[in-house]
Amino acid sequence: GIQVEQSPPDLILQEGANSTLRCNFSDSVNNLQWFHQNPWGQLINLFYIPSGTKQNGRLSATTVATERYSLLYISSSQTTDSGVYFCAVGGAETSGSRLTFGEGTQLTVNP
Amino acid sequence: DGGITQSPKYLFRKEGQNVTLSCEQNLNHDAMYWYRQDPGQGLRLIYYSQIVNDFQKGDIAEGYSVSREKKESFPLTVTSAQKNPTAFYLCASSITGQNIQYFGAGTRLSVL
């Protein structure tokens, strides 16, 4: 099956700093989503981005499908950005409905 | 409010016992999913269903069973055959064709 690798595994920032999280995947995809898991375990959709670039406030994401990677940018980080960020992908063979998750990036933003 | 409701939040299982986790959605989504998350790891797919009365095994289906008798409901049973059931269980749903998955708040299962 499709493999998903996220980097870095852990990231510690001071409030106000910018960061880039990376997601590499092993095969062509027609579904890619970024999620934020808060300390209580709730997963929140950030982006549905199988290709292209999207922005939502301080967050933006870019997926280069031909090179099999996606980037999540967080600017002017806040303590509430802390948590785990997951990339999840769906391959063309499953019509994109099944998602394979990476291991996540644990982000800690200190005041 | 529209959303996905999982219950209970916390569940304890005794040795040899089957337990059932509830997942209900009022989003009118066709597809529903069950994932397992172990500490410090990503989510792994247990079962999914794209339509009522049909479901498919995911990557780690052994020791679990599901049913999909109603569009709104997709309960997961953790059977006694699942020898390591302690984990965080997450239910999700999506509109078929859109593929954006939305998650419930999860159930934490522990073994007594």
The answer to whether residue B50 neighbours chain A at the CB level (below 8 Å) is yes
Q: Which residue of A has its CA nearest to B92?
A: A43
How many Cβ atoms sit within 10 Å of the Cβ of residue B51? Answer: 12
B16: left (phi over 0), alpha (psi -120 to 50) or beta: left
pLDDT tens by residue, A1-53: 889 999 999 999 999 999 999 999 999 988 999 999 998 999 999 999 999 99
Confidence of residue A98 (pLDDT cuts 50, 70, 90): confident
pLDDT tens by residue, B18-43: 999 999 999 999 999 999 999 989 99
Residues 6+ away with beta carbon under 8 Å from A96: A29, A30, A31, A50, A90, B99
- The C-alpha R_g of chain B, in whole angstroms, comes to 13
How many Cβ atoms sit within 10 Å of the Cβ of residue A13? Answer: 18
Asked if the model's pLDDT at residue B104 lies above 60, the reply is yes
B53: left (phi over 0), alpha (psi -120 to 50) or beta: left
The answer to whether residue A34 neighbours chain B at the CB level (below 8 Å) is no
Percent of chain B at pLDDT above 90?
A: 82
The confidence score (pLDDT) of residue A94 equals 60
The confidence score (pLDDT) of residue B1 equals 59
Confidence of residue B16 (pLDDT cuts 50, 70, 90): confident
The answer to whether residue B59 neighbours chain A at the CB level (below 8 Å) is yes
pLDDT tens by residue, B41-94: 999 999 999 999 999 999 999 999 999 999 999 999 999 888 899 999 999 999
The confidence score (pLDDT) of residue B112 equals 81
Asked if the model's pLDDT at residue A78 lies above 70, the reply is yes
The rounded distance, in Å, linking the Cα atoms of B45 and B25 is 18
Chain A residues with CB-CB distance to B94 below 8 A = 97
Q: Would you say B17 and B103 are in contact if contact means Cβ atoms under 8 Å apart? A: no
Chain A residues with CB-CB distance to B31 below 8 A = 97
The rounded distance, in Å, linking the Cα atoms of A88 and A54 is 16
Q: Which of B79, B33, B111 is nearest to A96 (CA)?
A: B33
As a 3-state breakdown, chain A gives helix, strand, coil percent values, each rounded to 5, of 10, 60, 35
Q: Which residue of B has its CA nearest to A49?
A: B100
